[in-house]
């Protein structure tokens, strides 16, 4: 295990975070009532630079070669360190928060989950609200993107890093070079964020709210500058803008690139994109029917808007809610849990198990069903006209099994930690954290926060959020004893 090589990559993560703290310092200096926070933000930036310099010193003479074990340790340690340093603003500016609270809030931000412990967002300092928003923007894209872009070396290192942070493999990413593909993804991400900011501002938000909500909408994170979220604005134009950009944030960025190139054939042939819109349509119709049946909207247009809004919000794992929690009905709760579990597309900012895995699993079930009465038939699984290799099938099914295994064994543990929670609250909050969904029903929807949980439950859910963001493998592999054994 070459720790000097790992330290070199941790340097990039620390300097990225130092840049974020510097931006927050600038916002605090612009606000006269927040200038007293300047020292705190400067302290956060200084501490991060010190850490970055230490890691740079440790890794300055490391080789450019990196192996699979170093990749796993690099990914898990960079995320953990990013979250740990991210607790500093919460501890400095919100002294009533415990370390467990700060760690939970930081984890929710950087994993772009969106659940929160804070109950009065309207009175928080703007610089801290901006930090919450931009942490989701960084986390939604993934810190490994910055590793890939800023690495001076070529070769297999960038591909190893990216493919092990994101278990769903997309060979199209590697066709013209991963660094080029990552550059395109970052450019699309930035362009969408800029367009979303302008759209929110045009729809009626002030500039600060527009920027913060754009950062959390494109990252499908769901943090807001107001306790009531999007519902605080009571504006249908803002809701439609949110729908459009949540939908784009959870869409495969390669499909968005194809749209920009006017390559409509590629969109039509993309089964994941078609499945994504099919799921949104089904959930939107179901929510529309449930709301209309119970009379929770003034007319068909309101019901339709709410149905589309919440279908996109749930499936993209953003977690925004556009109506009063008192109007929540059991039918929609079931849809919430299912949609957050499914999630969005691969190569996007969405959480969940991803639609591509659901499609492959469905095709495998269908093929095995046919093979049960036609044992000699050989029918390969095809995705977008290409054969899905046995290795890719195995990786996708392995993740679904691992996801189910974690749910079966850790959900009861969480229920024992919080015996006072209802079944609905326990299940929805757990799935929200594991799928990075940001929205839970039951007690959590009524209160609007997770602050009533015990500290050990907060630590547990923080780990669950990180497991979901790193798709299990990067955290599980270092726990195997043979991982640390030297092999000749």
Residue whose token pair is 């340093």? 85
**pLDDT given for residue 178 in this prediction:** 57
Name the nearest CA neighbour of 65 among 180, 3, 157.
Answer: 157
- Percent of the chain exceeding pLDDT 90 equals 44
Is the pLDDT reported for residue 199 higher than 90?
Answer: yes
Q: What DSSP letter does each residue of 458-484 carry, written as one string?
A: HHHHHHHHHHHHTTTHHHHGGGSGGGG
Is the pLDDT reported for residue 163 higher than 90?
Answer: no
Question: CA 155 to CA 368: how far, in whole Å?
Answer: 39
Contact residues for 397 (Cβ-Cβ < 8 A; gap 6+): 360, 361, 364
Mean pLDDT of 439-457: 88
Is the pLDDT reported for residue 37 higher than 70?
Answer: yes
Is the pLDDT reported for residue 155 higher than 50?
Answer: no
Mean pLDDT of 384-404: 83
Q: What DSSP letter does each residue of 254-303 carry, written as one string?
A: HHHHHHHTT-HHHHHH-HHHHHHHHHHHHHHHHHHHHHHHTT-SSSHHHH
Angle between helices 236-249 and 300-315 (to 10 degrees): 30
Question: CA 266 to CA 268: how far, in whole Å?
Answer: 6
DSSP-derived letter for residue 374 is -
Residues in the chain: 488
First-to-last C-alpha distance (Å) of the chain = 12
Name the nearest CA neighbour of 221 among 189, 199, 187, 259.
Answer: 189
Name the nearest CA neighbour of 454 among 28, 104, 41, 20.
Answer: 104
Return the bridge partners of 383, or none: 386
Mean pLDDT of 346-367: 88
Q: Helix, strand or coil for residue 387?
A: strand
Mean pLDDT of 269-294: 88
Mean pLDDT of 223-250: 93
**pLDDT given for residue 152 in this prediction:** 47
Is the pLDDT reported for residue 174 higher than 50?
Answer: no
Confidence (pTM): 0.90
pLDDT tier at 280 (50, 70, 90 boundaries)?
very high
Where are the domains positioned within the chain? 388-484
Mean pLDDT of 450-478: 87
**164, 110, 180, 9 alpha-carbon torsion, rounded to 10°:** -70
Q: What DSSP letter does each residue of 85-131 carry, written as one string?
A: HHTHHHHHH-TTS-HHHHHHHHHHHHTT----S-S-GGGS-HHHHHH
DSSP-derived letter for residue 420 is T
User: Measured over all CA atoms, what is the biggest interatomic distance in the chain, rounded to whole angstroms?
Assistant: 76
More confident residue, 213 or 62: 213
Is the pLDDT reported for residue 258 higher than 60?
Answer: yes
Question: Under a CB-based contact definition with an 8 Å cutoff, are residues 88 and 51 in contact?
Answer: no
pLDDT tier at 143 (50, 70, 90 boundaries)?
low
Q: What is the mean pLDDT of the chain?
A: 84
Contact residues for 199 (Cβ-Cβ < 8 A; gap 6+): 241, 244, 245
Name the nearest CA neighbour of 190 among 149, 236, 235.
Answer: 149
Is the pLDDT reported for residue 173 higher than 50?
Answer: no
More confident residue, 287 or 154: 287
More confident residue, 41 or 348: 41
Is the pLDDT reported for residue 164 higher than 80?
Answer: no
**pLDDT given for residue 328 in this prediction:** 66
Residue whose token pair is 């990552």? 182
Mean pLDDT of 65-69: 69
Question: CA 296 to CA 288: how far, in whole Å?
Answer: 10
223: phi then psi, degrees, rounded to nearest 5: -65, 145
Cα–chain center distance at 446: 23
Query: Minimum mean pLDDT among 9-23, 53-67, 181-195, 337-351: which range?
Result: 53-67
Is the pLDDT reported for residue 87 higher than 90?
Answer: yes
Return the bridge partners of 386, or none: 383
């Amino acid at each position: 295990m070459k720790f000097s090589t790992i330290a070199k990559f941790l340097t990039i993560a620390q300097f990225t975070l130092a840049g974020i703290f510097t931006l927050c310092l600038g916002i605090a200096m612009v606000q006269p009532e927040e200038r007293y926070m300047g020292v705190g933000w400067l302290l956060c930036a200084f501490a991060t630079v010190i850490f970055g310099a230490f890691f740079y010193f440790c890794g300055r003479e490391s080789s450019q070669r990196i192996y699979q074990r170093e990749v796993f340790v690099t990914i898990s340690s960079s995320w953990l360190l990013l979250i740990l340093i991210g607790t500093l603003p919460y501890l400095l500016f919100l002294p009533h928060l415990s370390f467990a609270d700060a760690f939970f809030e930081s984890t929710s931000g950087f994993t772009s989950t969106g659940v929160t412990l804070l109950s009065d967002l309207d009175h928080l300092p703007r610089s801290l609200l901006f930090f919450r928003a931009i942490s989701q923007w960084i986390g939604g894209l993934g810190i490994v993107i910055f590793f890939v872009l800023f690495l001076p070396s070529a070769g297999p290192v960038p591909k190893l890093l990216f493919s092990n942070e994101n278990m769903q493999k997309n060979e199209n990413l590697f066709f013209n070079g991963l660094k080029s593909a990552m550059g395109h993804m970052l450019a699309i991400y930035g362009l969408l964020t800029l367009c979303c900011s302008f759209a929110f501002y045009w729809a009626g938000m002030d500039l600060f709210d527009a920027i913060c909500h754009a950062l959390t909408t494109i990252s499908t994170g769901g943090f807001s500058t107001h306790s009531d979220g999007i519902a605080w604005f009571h504006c249908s134009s803002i809701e439609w803008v949110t729908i459009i950009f949540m939908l784009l944030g959870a869409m495969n960025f390669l499909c968005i690139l194809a749209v920009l190139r006017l390559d409509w054939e590629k969109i039509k042939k993309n089964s994941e994109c078609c499945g994504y819109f099919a799921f949104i349509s089904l959930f939107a119709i179901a929510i529309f029917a449930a709301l209309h049946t119970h009379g929770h909207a003034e007319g068909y247009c309101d019901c339709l808007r709410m149905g589309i809004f919440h279908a996109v919000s749930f499936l993209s794992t953003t977690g925004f809610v556009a109506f009063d929690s008192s109007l929540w009905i059991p039918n929609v709760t079931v849809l919430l849990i299912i949609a957050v579990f499914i999630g969005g597309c691969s190569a996007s900012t969405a959480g969940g198990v991803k639609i591509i895995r659901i499609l492959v699993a469905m095709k495998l079930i269908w093929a095995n069903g046919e093979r049960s009465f036609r044992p000699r038939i050989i029918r390969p699984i095809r995705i977008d006209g290409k054969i899905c290799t046995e290795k890719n099938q195995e990786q996708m099914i392995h993740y679904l099994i691992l996801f189910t295994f974690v749910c079966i064994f850790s959900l009861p543990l969480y229920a024992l930690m919080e015996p006072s929670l209802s079944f609905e609250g326990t299940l929805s909050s757990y799935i929200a954290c594991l799928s990075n969904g940001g929205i839970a029903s039951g007690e959590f929807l009524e209160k609007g926060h997770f602050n009533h949980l015990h500290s050990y439950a907060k630590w547990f859910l923080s780990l669950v959020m990180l497991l979901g963001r790193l798709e299990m493998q990067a955290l599980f592999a270092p726990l195997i004893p043979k991982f640390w054994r030297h092999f000749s």
